[in-house]
Amino acid sequence: MRLMDGENKKEGRVEIYINGQWGTICDDGWSDKDAVVVCRQLGYKGLSRARTMAYFGEGKGPIHVDNVKCTGNERSLADCIKQDIGKHNCRHSEDAGVICDYLIRKASSIKDSLASVCGLRILHRRQKRIIGGKNSLRGGWPWQVALRIKSSHGDGRLLCGATLISSCWVLTAAHCFKRYGNNTRNYMVRVGDYHTLVPEEYEEEIGVQEIVQHPEYRPDNSDYDIALVRLQGPHEQCTRFSAHVLPACLPFRRERPQKASNCYITGWGDTGRAYSRTLQEAAIPLIPKRICEERYHTKFTGRMLCAGSLHGQKQIDSCQGDSGGPLMCERPGNIWVVYGVTSWGYG
């Protein structure tokens, strides 16, 4: 048994080795009691929590088992009652996961030491830079924000991505407010989100106090497509910072990313089948200004950055649902800077 794609070795998608193949477990009936047994089998004795709906991303290969039912007292998963090996009615979007030695972290536990710090990725690991979207690491982009439109039931649905730039201010695209207007009561902001359907203790949903669109923005074109959102709450105390909730840095005046910068876009945009439940990331190359001017003519202005793929490269571009989300590039010293917001594109 192994845990895959967690932020550390104590969590991840549960995979088991059967008939010479690593495979996953379907989450039908998956509960904390099952997680207790998995963690015990792996040698962990602390609090255990189950995760469902491919929380740690979709696995590959066979789905080995379904409908696992542990009492929590078994020594291994093999002792639990389950269906025959290979018998299931699931997809990998239902892969089960666990968090072992689960710690209930206080959301404000690091706010004092990090109150004046930006652009730090506390929960991430170095890995090969891949052009193309994939699941991000939980907590890997702590400034990622979901701008949500409120529904009549009081909850919300994803409207746009956004970037936390301080405790009380969020950066996004002005066009995100084109359909529903500037009435602040229509919107809420969710910080600390990773899997859109699984609540976490460091997630917060915060009301919107003010929407400030660039004064030169016009809905009939994409120039000046940028906006600030002021969150509800007292001065610089609107959100509670944690390892999962931190602001991105803003660039210095006239600072531009270098050609070889390590840059990413993030969001819950369309993955080809539906909106992703899990926060996606994609390494994205910057494109020289002159090339975009030749390709897009007057649509591309001097206030824009161009990033993505061109002829013959693996397709990588932002999608609906990524609008307003950040273009993040790494500055020397492992500091991450938001150089732009996703506005428009083709692909």
**How far is the C-alpha of 174 from the C-alpha of 262, rounded, in Å?**
26
Closest residue by Cα to residue 214 from 318, 298, 303: 303
**How far is the C-alpha of 226 from the C-alpha of 173, rounded, in Å?**
4
pTM (predicted TM-score): 0.77
* Location of structure tokens 């040698």: 43
Closest residue by Cα to residue 211 from 242, 255, 170: 170
> In this predicted structure, which of 3-17, 107-121, 190-204 has the lowest mean pLDDT?
107-121
**How far is the C-alpha of 9 from the C-alpha of 290, rounded, in Å?**
46
Q: Which domains does the chain have, with CATH numbers?
A: 2-99 (3.10.250.10), 128-346 (2.40.10.10)
Closest residue by Cα to residue 171 from 11, 326, 12, 14: 326
What's the confidence (pLDDT) of residue 70?
A: 95
Mean pLDDT on 208-235 = 91
| pLDDT category of residue 283 using cuts at 50, 70 and 90 | confident
Comparing 285 with 101, the larger pLDDT belongs to 101
What's the confidence (pLDDT) of residue 130?
A: 44
In this predicted structure, the answer to whether residue 15 has a pLDDT above a threshold of 70 is: yes
What's the confidence (pLDDT) of residue 306?
A: 78
Torsion angle in degrees (nearest 10) through CA of 7, 315, 197, 146 = 90
**How far is the C-alpha of 183 from the C-alpha of 202, rounded, in Å?**
27
What's the confidence (pLDDT) of residue 160?
A: 92
Decide if 342 contacts 322 (C-beta within 8 A): yes
Q: What residue type is assigned to position 86 of the chain?
A: G
* Torsions phi, psi for 69 (to 5 deg): -135, 95
In this predicted structure, the answer to whether residue 112 has a pLDDT above a threshold of 60 is: no
List, in order, residues 6 or more apart from 274 with CB less than 8 Å away. Answer: none
What's the confidence (pLDDT) of residue 162?
A: 96
Q: pLDDT for 152-199, tens place per residue?
A: 765 678 899 999 999 999 999 999 998 899 999 999 999 999 988 888
Output the DSSP codes for 91-130: -GGGB-EEESS-----TTTTHHHHTT--S--SS-------
| pLDDT category of residue 237 using cuts at 50, 70 and 90 | confident
What's the confidence (pLDDT) of residue 127?
A: 53
Q: pLDDT for 311-338, tens place per residue?
A: 545 555 544 447 899 999 998 888 999 9
Q: What residue type is assigned to position 116 of the chain?
A: S
| pLDDT category of residue 114 using cuts at 50, 70 and 90 | low
Chain centre distance of CA 206: 18
**Token pair for 257:** 């990313």
Q: What residue type is assigned to position 279 of the chain?
A: L
Comparing 128 with 99, the larger pLDDT belongs to 99
What is the average pLDDT score of the chain?
84
> In this predicted structure, which of 13-22, 59-68, 99-108 has the lowest mean pLDDT?
99-108
* Active-site residue list: 175, 225, 323
List, in order, residues 6 or more apart from 250 with CB less than 8 Å away. Answer: 118, 165, 337, 338
Buried b (16+ CB within 10 A) or exposed e, 269-304: bbbeeebbbbbbbbbbbbbeeeebbeebeeebeeeb
Mean pLDDT on 137-162 = 86
